[in-house]
Amino acid sequence: MPASSGGPSLIDILWGFLAACFLVAFYAHKISVRSPAETSRVYVLFQDLIRYGKTKQTLRRADWLRAFDVPKRWFWHFYAISVTWNIFLLAVYLNATYQQQSFPSWLTRVLDVLTGMPGSASQVPQLSTVLVQMLLCAHSLRRLLECLFVSVFSDGVIHLAQYGFGLGYYIILGLTVLCSDRMSKETGTLLAQLDWLYLTGFALFIWASLLQHQSLVLLAGLRTGKSGKVETLAHKVPTGGWFELVSCPHYFAELLIYVSLSLLFRGLSLTWWLVVLYVFFNQALAGQLCHELYINKYESYPKDRKAFIPFVL
């Protein structure tokens, strides 16, 4: 999404920077695990910042680093904030487009800074914006319910910096939808804007969401008995479904969900493709860490299984 000055907007720079950071982190990790300096302070600090949950349990850390640990089960905080925030933004957007009322002044100023262009005083409601905001709410609500009622968390931890980043991430993500809305405008009613690309994106979103839910149910089943009660908190080799192809199909599904949202923007939002790029490198790093854990911990782990993209990565 171009800024008014002809250069990249602040929101594009932000997502491009985050994508580049995780790309560097991915390759830095690949290089560092092959080096003999696994006990160096820089190595431990770096690994402490990129690992969480089960991939962090084998990392030898100083006691002072453990002071920054918070429970991984706090993941539900991210989704609770995302649901609340995106419902608020959707309500504000619909109120502005249908009731011809302005955004709150603070929100307008934030969007002006992020996009580098002033908002339009009046506009036709964009189907892409409405759908993406609604599906972000649905995705976050599903993940919230899964965290609370499906997933079985052990005593795994995440770094306080990761926790803070996660909280801010979903705030910026909601704002990114409104930033993408400031592109060239569609005309006509919401129904008149509907075309095959919207339907394709929606279908991909549903399929990827089902894949992610199925994968999370299979992971939870490793720790529960037939009655549904938790029997163990030990980590086991996941099997069934897409786990036969990759170590982390839920990460692959997460990537597909963001691709589907890009299709709902008709593939025209550079900003959202930068979000997809960030999600790709972020999930690639997380998937690689899990994949390495399984390979190192279980001698019988399938050698042909990839980390998170079937047959590719």
Q: Say what the pLDDT of residue 184 is.
A: 60
Can you give the pLDDT at residue 120? 59
Task: Please write the tens of the pLDDT for every residue from 249-264.
Answer: 999 999 999 999 999 9
Supply the pLDDT for residue 196: 87
Residue 146 lies in a domain: yes
Whether 307 is in a domain gets the answer: no
How much is the pLDDT for 32?
Answer: 81
Indicate whether 1 belongs to any domain: no
Q: Is residue 309 in a domain?
A: no
Residue 123: the pLDDT is: 65
pLDDT of residue 143: 97
Q: Is residue 4 over pLDDT 60?
A: no
- What pLDDT score was predicted for residue 31? 87
Please state the domain count of the chain.
Answer: 1
- Asked whether residue 306 is assigned to any structural domain, the reply reads no
Question: Is 311 part of a structural domain of the chain?
Answer: no
For residue 5, is it within any domain? no
pLDDT attached to residue 38: 60
Mean of the pLDDT values across residues 111-129? 79
Domain span including residue 127: 10-297
Residue 255 lies in a domain: yes
**What pLDDT is attached to residue 194?**
75
> pTM score > 0.85 for this model?
yes
Q: How far apart are CA 176 and CA 12, in angstroms?
A: 9
* Residue type present at position 297: K
